[in-house]
Amino acid sequence: MIKTDHTHDPAAQSWVVSANQASSEFPIQNLPFGAFRRRGSDEDARIGVAIGDQILDLRHAAELGRWSADIQALLAPLAQGDLNAFMGQPPAARLALRHALFEALLTGSKQEAALRTALLAQSEAEMLMPCRVGDYTDFYTGIHHATTVGKLFRPDNPLLPNYKWVPIGYHGRSSSIGVSGMAIRRPWGQRKAPDAEAPVFAPSQRLDYELELGAFVAGGNALGEPIGIEKAEQHLFGLSLLNDWSARDIQPWEYQPLGPFLAKNFGTTISPWIVTMEALAPFRCSFERPAEDPQPLAYLDSAQNRAQGAFNIELEVWLQTAAMREGGLPAQRLSQSNFRDAYWTVAQMLTHHASGGCNMSSGDLLGSGTQSGPLPEQGGSLLELSQGGKQALVLANGEQRTFLQDGDTLSLRGRATAPGARSIGFGDCWATLLPARAA
């Protein structure tokens, strides 16, 4: 398990002044990785580290900074724009680079003069996919979401018998994952009304979002070789926000018996920065099950996972309609929840995924499933907040929503907090819904 060290000192400050502001998501205690290019250019993707409102361009940093031979070797793939290669490094190597970057960006660093020219304002950058995502699997770890949605369809039996025993998941499409700022096109698909004799092929009318976190794999395993729960943390690189867009009227017709298909594969949005597991060390908390619930089977259980397997990450959903933008009105918060309420940890997700010998690779993405809170107003999707479309949400400007409408911009936000620690963020995860393509 990754431990806290001097890079988490809440008093530490950077010579990048904007990183020291209390509102900054990217203080020196964070140092997340992302990919970018200068806005308006056609240059190749570059890997950078967010610091305040700036990006430290690691290609320039590798050229301009003074680094030990070991650190220079770790910077080499990053300088070439290959985050996946760095993700495959052992945990000790990833930690060593974090230490080196922290020291270089710390107030009073001898690297300041050289590295100032390696900075680019985030406002001048176009953010790209942070790494190559070879495979994507979405889980269902939000028990409050699973219970609420289950009640809509099975009032007397909302949770199926396997839910509390096995981390449920399905394989999604990595090809349709995009970074924050992307546009989402309303999808077409088969949908069937309960009283209709036959389905129709038409645009979805019940387009929804799902508030999730994504976990990126660091270093893989050979085919046929499981990843034990005691080693799972070594194979996790970091977390991002994730919006698993969902067509609720396509989903119920097509998902039986093999699970989600077109209702999910038209788009998934992630935040542009991967917050590393090292940065998240201060925000770990205990993972506990209610005493009356079945405890995890042995292969999914460890003292370490029970003690520190969960994370205290506050999550929010914000909506800005087209009318709000035209009227100069800000986005409105729809709900808030916390990742510590997840029924399974990221280590358990990875362990179960590989338990049958499935080979994971650096950059593989695991979605957490919708993270809702225990209260009705803490739903992580409109399906929950509108009670399946039966109860419209009334927005501050008088508009109503049961599901998303064309022109809506949906944003996810996340912030890790803990007493005595400097809070860190993930950056916005947003996208705007476009109309369906013409027939």
Active site residues: 145
CB count, 10 Å around CB of 156?
A: 6
Q: Say if CB 362 and CB 135 are below 8 A apart.
A: no
Across-strand partners of 314? 338, 415
Q: At what angle do helices 69-79 and 91-105 cross, to 10 degrees?
A: 90
If one counts every other C-beta atom within 10 angstroms of the C-beta of residue 195, the result is 5
The three-class DSSP label of residue 308 is: helix
| C-beta separation of 249 from 215 below 8 A | no
- Residue 98 contacts residue 85 (beta carbons within 8 Å): no
Nearest to 372 by CA among 205, 144, 40, 178: 144
Of the candidates 268, 205, 245, 107, which has an alpha carbon nearest to the alpha carbon of residue 406? 205
Inter-residue contact 162 to 392 (CB < 8 Å): no
Task: Name the strand (E) or helix (H) holding 97.
Answer: helix 91-105
What is the C-alpha to C-alpha distance for residues 156 and 91, in angstroms, rounded to an integer? 46
CA end-to-end span of the chain:
53
CA dist., res. 20 & res. 91, Å (int) = 27
Q: How many CB atoms lie within 10 A of CB 278?
A: 22
Which sign, positive or negative, has the C-alpha torsion 317, 323, 328, 329? negative
Phi, psi of 381 (to 5 degrees): -155, 160
Radius of gyration over every alpha carbon of the chain, rounded to an integer in angstroms: 22
